[in-house]
Structure formats: C-alpha cells, structure tokens
Amino acid sequence: MTLKTDQGMRGPTSARRHRSSFDARRWRWGLPRVLALTSVALAMGASAAAPAHSSATAPALAPDGRTRAQAIRAEVNARYRLLPGRKLVVTGATSMGGVPFLALFSHDWLEGRIVPVDNGIHFDICSARARCPYPARWAAWQVAADLPRRQALELALRTFLQTTVNLVVVSLPTAQPVWAIFERADLLANIGARAVLDRLASSPAVVDPPLRELVAGLTRPRLFVPAAIGPDDSIMAVRLFGS
C-alpha cells in the first residue's frame, strides 16, 4: 500500500501483505493538526461517552478471527473480480491491534464517543492495480459510488455472521481516506443480517435500485473521515455526513 506522509512515499501494498495488524501511524499527515485535534478531544472528554469496558477488559480478537477474515477477503475478491468494467480488490485484512481505540465524532464535532477496537478487523478496498490510500485519480472512486460501499457492507456482514468480531472498519478507495465503520450490535440490531447478505449475493453487475437504496441507507451514517492520530496511536474520525 502506498502511504503518503510528510516523509514522502512508501512502497506498494504488495510488498506489505504480510502485515498482520493495523498500523495507525500510516494515517499521520500533519503534526500541528494532530495536536490541535487531540486538544479538542481532550476538551470534549466529558461529553465523549466512554465504552462500557476498557481496552484492558475488552474481548481480544478471537484466534481464528484474522484467519477467517482473510478467507472472507478471498471469497469476496473471487466474486468481484468477475465483474465487467472497473475492478475492486480487497487488498488487506488485518486486526486493529495497533490502535488503542477510535474516537468517533459527529459531523459537527459536538458529540463524540470512544469505541474499543480490541476485537476488530480492518479491510482495505482498492481499485485493481492501484495503490491505496491516496489512489491516483484514475483509480479513485467517488464516496457516493455504490459498488465500494456494497462491498464494504458485504465484508462487514460476512465477518459478523462468521466470526465473533465486534468491529469492522473498511477503507474505501476514495481520493482522500474515508472509512466505513460497522459495529456488530449497532448494525445487526437494525437489519436481518442473513437476509441482507443473501440480497448482496446477487451479481453486483445487475442494477437493483431497491438494493442500492438499502446499501446507501446502511452505509451513509457509518462513513467517517480519519482526522487525526493521537500520541498513543489512537485515531479520531469525524462522521462524513450530518443527520
């Protein structure tokens, strides 16, 4: 994966496929902004809802969680590579072990909460033969594009139904980083997961307006922009769209 930092460019994804856990530092892009946003988060500490359990007591990623996530990645890639036109590839499936927590903020930064990531999986979606994050213009997708969000939702549902993972974070192939963040309890409480996954099993090449509407409704409120990284590698992200 190509990483753009203030030190320049790093090597392609293919050279780093052995990585087993999420590296928060690859999202750093401006220390002054990081410090400013860290101060904002600290100032909002009273309004940021702390999780019911700390990282010390949160369930760790199940031993087979990452193995199963890699299998899900391969299964989804096998389906999406058959599509005509632009190809999407899930280039990575790693644990969230390199991050203490996510601090998720509302679109206006007025509300925030802490989300534990101990039992979480991170997937990367990228255009075939491209490098992400920060793909070249020809490889970048609009955030409103249906196909990447559909793939992200399928990854999350497969993971929740086949593992005990509580959190799935999917990096979309947008010009600037955008994450789809799915929490097990939140997502599964609002849908019939198996029924939705069965609908997603249909060919993505077939135009299905009701399914597109469903995907948009389930992903839009779960899109976040990673905004800053704290000194402990925690990550602050702000909701992309307001209510």
Please give the average pLDDT of every successive group of 10 residues along the chain, which has 243 residues.
28 41 52 45 46 47 84 94 89 87 92 92 93 88 96 97 95 94 95 95 89 96 90 87 83
- Predicted local distance difference test score (pLDDT) of residue 242: 86
- Predicted local distance difference test score (pLDDT) of residue 29: 45
| 147-to-38, 94, 189, 194 alpha-carbon distances in Å | 34, 22, 24, 20
Residue 198 CA to residue 210 CA, distance in Å, equals: 14
**Residues 58 and 118 sit within 8 Å (Cβ to Cβ):** yes
70-128, pLDDT tens digit by residue? Answer: 999 999 999 898 888 889 999 999 998 778 899 999 999 899 999 999 899 999 999 99
- Predicted local distance difference test score (pLDDT) of residue 167: 96
- Predicted local distance difference test score (pLDDT) of residue 1: 28
| 197-to-45, 166, 211 alpha-carbon distances in Å | 37, 17, 11
**Residues 85 and 127 sit within 8 Å (Cβ to Cβ):** no
Residue 183 CA to residue 172 CA, distance in Å, equals: 17
**Residues 124 and 3 sit within 8 Å (Cβ to Cβ):** no
pTM: 0.81
